[in-house]
Amino acid sequence: MPTDIAADHPDDLALLGLLQLVSPALPIGAFAWSQGLESAFELGWVNNESQLGQWLDGVLDDGLSRCELPALLRLQTAWQHQGADELAHWNDWLHASRETAELSDEDTRLGTALVRLLNSLDLLPAPGLMPEDPGYATVFAWAAHQRGVPVRRTLLGFAWAWLENQLAVACKALPLGHTAAQRLTEQLRPALVRAVDAAMERTDDELGPILPGLALASAQHETQYSRLFRS
């Protein structure tokens, strides 16, 4: 006898929707960006597995937990009650937090690509709700809300996708072997949880990245002679 899968298994469908959203197979081009990590290799700031782990842990603590993750929480909450002004505010706030042209371009291009993908799947929100020039986190928050993903899992999924992409960059450019990448994944899983915990506790006036090293690396990358990635 046929059953309504969405009604009978909402948690399962939400989880599968989140897995689809964070999959490296998602065709939005995230693999093309390193977020300054390629320059950190070139400049000699990160040379091995241990130093990479320290770099990523620092970016989680002083970057994602203070910027993307708390903004993502606020964006998904705004999508829940269709707060167009609030969506525009946090989308603009994220754009303003990008310290280099490459970081800004990455955010906009990934957001545009995800909008294009969701449009092809007939999953876009009602007209007038999506902010102008939506960034990646803004569209990610919409997709998670549309699929019924709880906010905490949305933040964990976003952080996981970031970590997986950064380790993929290292495997291509450091180079870092896949076994070493798995060791770092195991090492940093608790750090992802801590970053989400911190992000969910931060007030508005506590937000903003504290990543001068990443900003400098990203700025250097704009004129790096030879490179594999777009940021």
Residue-wise pLDDT for 121-134, tens only, equals: 999 998 888 999 99
Q: pLDDT class for 217, splitting at 50, 70, 90?
A: confident
The set of residues, in sequence order, having a beta carbon less than 8 Å from that of 230 and lying 6+ positions away, is 32, 33, 34, 102, 105, 106
What pLDDT is attached to residue 30?
83
pLDDT surpasses 80 at 1: no
Q: What is the three-class DSSP state of 29?
A: coil
Q: Residue 64's domain is classified under what CATH number?
A: 1.10.4190.10
Cα first-last separation, the chain: 52
Q: Say if 121 falls within a structural domain.
A: yes
User: Which residue range forms the structural domain that includes residue 45?
Assistant: 34-221
The string of pLDDT tens digits covering residues 70-79 is 999 999 999 9
Whether 92 is in a domain gets the answer yes
Q: Which residue has the tokens 């950064």?
A: 166
Instruction: State residue 29's pLDDT score.
Output: 84
Total number of domains in the chain = 1
Q: Within a domain: residue 12?
A: no
Whether the full predicted model's pTM is greater than 0.75, yes or no, is yes
Whole-angstrom Cα distance, residue 222 to residue 231? 7
Write down the residue that tokens 């992802």 correspond to.
Answer: 192
Question: Tens digit of pLDDT for each residue in 147-182?
Answer: 999 999 999 999 999 999 999 999 998 888 999 999
pLDDT value of position 67: 96
